[in-house]
Amino acid sequence: MGLAGLALVAAVVAWRLSGATYRGDVAMLCAAESRSGLTLARDMPALNEWVRGQLATPQGNALFSHLADVPVADRAGRLREAAASLGIEACAMAKSYESLVADADYRADLQRLCSYVTFPGLADGDDAARLAAVEDWIERSAANPRTRDLAEPLRAADSAAERARVLRTASRAMDIFTCDLAKVLESPPASADD
């Protein structure tokens, strides 16, 4: 019984390897999220493990290892390049890598925007001066278009409390749970306390 089991396993491995191609590995990698039901943004370790279990060629394993060795910002281009060289036009995983980088840029912008350190002395200004300082920072320093898109709802807000709510909502959506700038915006000017 043991020899028959080993023979069956060997036959399955040989059958799998006989149909394995590098192109198949790259196509699987490009569609890994939809095929596995996992997402790069939320399930990266589990997705990586799933992909490792699906790769069938040494070249596919080498590509995946190479992707893990380069910065996340470079992974989309490398994967898209590999896919294009094999005639694979659409690569959803490359788009997911790009989204991951864009989210990280947006999160970093929000962290800077929400920090007391970014706006020293802001508490001393009135509501108009505070809004002007925030808009100026967004225009000059925001790295991500989504951060720049915050300027309009901040400007359109009816009150300082509403501006604070806009910032809190944006930051919480990116798992930033403290926004010191929101506290400053909704507080009375420091000079009003004198």
pTM for the whole structure:
0.74
Q: How confident is the model at residue 15 (pLDDT cuts 50, 70, 90)?
A: very low
Q: Where are the domains of the chain?
A: 21-101, 115-193
102-151 pLDDT per residue, tens: 999 999 999 999 998 999 999 999 999 999 999 999 999 999 999 999 99
pLDDT score, position 146: 94
Q: How confident is the model at residue 189 (pLDDT cuts 50, 70, 90)?
A: confident
DSSP string, 83-109: HHHTT----HHHHHHHHHHHHHHHHHH
For 75-96, what is the mean pLDDT? 96
For 13-37, what is the mean pLDDT? 83
CA distance 94 to 181: 35
